[in-house]
């Protein structure tokens, strides 16, 4: 169920996280202090996906430091707490969801989409999903990553479309979602083509993805590479960024 509004595509490409020691010497200069990595990253990319928020609620001072470390126009995609998605499994989460929003709103105009990654064992439940979606404030961007195949259905896409919530389009070694747009923006995650969180996408593969992303009917497209091993995420993100800019 594609979004039918008028748009001019804007592509924001980055990686899932930036604080990887094995990127030093490959992306970060060998002598660059760790506290300067984020500012260095933001000189090259316009967005990053925050994954450590999945494991713990960040301190207020930490969120504010993220906000202040990057230039205007930079966007953080923020992964929601596993307490919401994996422990509570979207049920009875009004209070933790509100706490999560209160904290991430401190990013102010650097706040981009919120990512809700569901566990692989959570099968389709339209009522549960709709009740959860009703908790999400309409002034923020939201995307859901379904890891069980049962969710990949037109009825679910229509439900997301009614709430203007994006289906997370992703590539896994043994599972790839259809490239369907259900909101006024799209969200794409690259977890590795043959090796989970590893492996390097070839230029031919990325050229194909660039054509597919250009074909999405969305005003804005966020794309993140999660194959951080050996710095492949940086190389692939730079290639996709270049392809989308030409």
Which tens digit of pLDDT belongs to each residue from 206-233? Answer: 999 999 999 998 999 999 999 998 899 9
Give 190's strand partners: 171, 225
CA distances from 17 to 3, 214, 233 (A): 29, 24, 10
User: Quick one: pLDDT at residue 195?
Assistant: 85
What pLDDT score does 6 carry? 44
The fraction of the chain above a pLDDT of 70, given in percent, is 97
| pLDDT class of 198 with cuts at 50, 70, 90 | confident
Query: How many angstroms separate the CA atoms of 171 and 232, rounded?
Result: 15
Residue 82 Cα distances to 96, 115, 174, 214, 241, angstroms: 11, 11, 23, 32, 30
User: How far apart (Å, rounded) are the C-alpha atoms in residues 2 and 113?
Assistant: 18
* Residue 28 vs residue 195, higher pLDDT: 28
Q: Which domains does the chain have, with CATH numbers?
A: 10-245 (3.20.20.410)
Confidence (pTM): 0.94
């Amino acid at each position: 169920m594609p979004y039918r509004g008028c748009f001019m595509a804007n592509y924001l490409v980055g990686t899932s996280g930036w604080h990887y020691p094995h990127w030093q010497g490959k992306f970060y200069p060998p002598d660059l202090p760790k506290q300067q990595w984020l500012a260095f990253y933001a000189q090259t990319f316009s967005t990053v996906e925050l994954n450590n928020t999945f494991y713990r609620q960040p301190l207020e001072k930490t969120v504010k430091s993220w906000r202040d470390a990057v230039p205007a126009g930079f966007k953080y995609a923020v992964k929601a707490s596993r307490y919401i998605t994996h422990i509570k499994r979207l049920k009875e989460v009004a209070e933790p969801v509100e706490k999560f929003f209160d904290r991430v709103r401190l990013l102010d105009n650097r706040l981009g989409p919120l990512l809700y990654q569901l566990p692989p064992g959570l099968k389709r439940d339209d009522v549960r999903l709709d009740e959860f979606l009703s908790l999400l404030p309409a002034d923020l961007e939201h995307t859901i990553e379904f890891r069980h195949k049962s969710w990949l259905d037109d009825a679910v896409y229509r439900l997301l479309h009614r709430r203007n919530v994006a289906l997370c389009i992703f590539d896994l070694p043994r599972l790839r979602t259809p490239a369907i747009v259900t909101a006024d923006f799209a969200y794409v995650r690259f977890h590795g083509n043959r090796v989970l969180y590893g492996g390097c996408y070839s230029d031919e593969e990325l050229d194909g993805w660039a054509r597919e992303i250009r074909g999405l009917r969305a005003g804005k497209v966020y794309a993140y590479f999660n194959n951080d091993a050996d710095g492949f995420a940086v190389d692939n993100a730079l290639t996709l960024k270049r392809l989308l800019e030409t």
